[in-house]
A and B are shown apart, each in its own frame.
Chain A
Amino acid sequence: AQKVTQAQTEISVVEKEDVTLDCVYETRDTTYYLFWYKQPPSGELVFLIRRNSFDEQNEISGRYSWNFQKSTSSFNFTITASQVVDSAVYFCAQGTGNQFYFGTGTSLTVIP
């Protein structure tokens, strides 16, 4: 069965701390895509990153970094030096071109 698990429901950190959001997925597909989205209080989901299953190279983009490990079916997301504007709900998603499955989200609060 396809499933995406974000075990952390809520996380609070103090500004400038680093924080890692966990994502574990289950799939029988050999080719698939992984995504992270951010949903600020305004409600609109914002695309952060896309990764295909053949590309296990980790990526850093500014304060954001992603660690994809196919062997453990994990696709974790780290924010370094967190800021108040990072406060949002973060969703991990996995799927193929036919259908995507979202995790239940991790609510991140960055305390000034």
Chain B
Amino acid sequence: KAGVTQTPRYLIKTRGQQVTLSCSPISGHRSVSWYQQTPGQGLQFLFEYFSETQRNKGNFPGRFSGRQFSNSRSEMNVSTLELGDSALYLCASSLAGQSYGYTFGSGTRLTVV
């Protein structure tokens, strides 16, 4: 069965621009979580969506937002990009929630110049 698919794999954006990342979870998984991975901060939780509702949110500014569609696909948006937003953004899906364990996608590598 197909894994978690993230698009695009790589992205280069300019400061001040906005970006949208996409994640298609494993079929049947209703929970989608997003993480930011950087060398300095490691893996940091952004938010979790379940059945189109944001269920949990990490400590990120409002420039980071997301949504989930009825087919469980999720998008993450970052507005007014800053250099510090350069990171690997990982999407993870789970059957019913984080406590069941995730299946991660390969991530989107975002570079802000």
Contact = CB atoms under 8 A, between A and B. Distances in A.
Interface string B41-85: 011110010000001101000000000000000000000000000
A91 B102 CA distance: 13
B43 A91 contact: yes
B33 to A, nearest CB: 8
B106 A100 contact: no
A91 B99 CA distance: 16
Contacts of A98: 55-56, 98
Contact of B56 (A37, A99, A101): A99
Contact of A50 (B35, B101, B103): B101
A37 B104 CA distance: 10
A98 B3 CA distance: 23
Among A33, A93, A98, A104, max chain B CB count under 10 A is at A98
Interface residues of B, number: 24
Interface residues of A, number: 24
Interface of A: 33, 35, 37, 42-47, 50, 52, 91, 93, 95-105
Given A37-B102, A45-B104, 11 more contacts: A37-B104, A43-B88, A44-B104, A44-B105, A46-B104, A47-B101, A47-B102, A97-B97, A98-B55, A99-B58, A102-B35
28 contacts: A35-B101, A37-B104, A43-B88, A44-B105, A44-B106, A45-B92, A45-B102, A46-B104, A47-B101, A47-B104, A50-B101, A52-B99, A93-B43, A95-B98, A95-B99, A96-B99, A97-B98, A98-B98, A99-B48, A99-B58, A99-B98, A100-B45, A100-B98, A102-B43, A102-B44, A103-B42, A105-B42, A105-B43
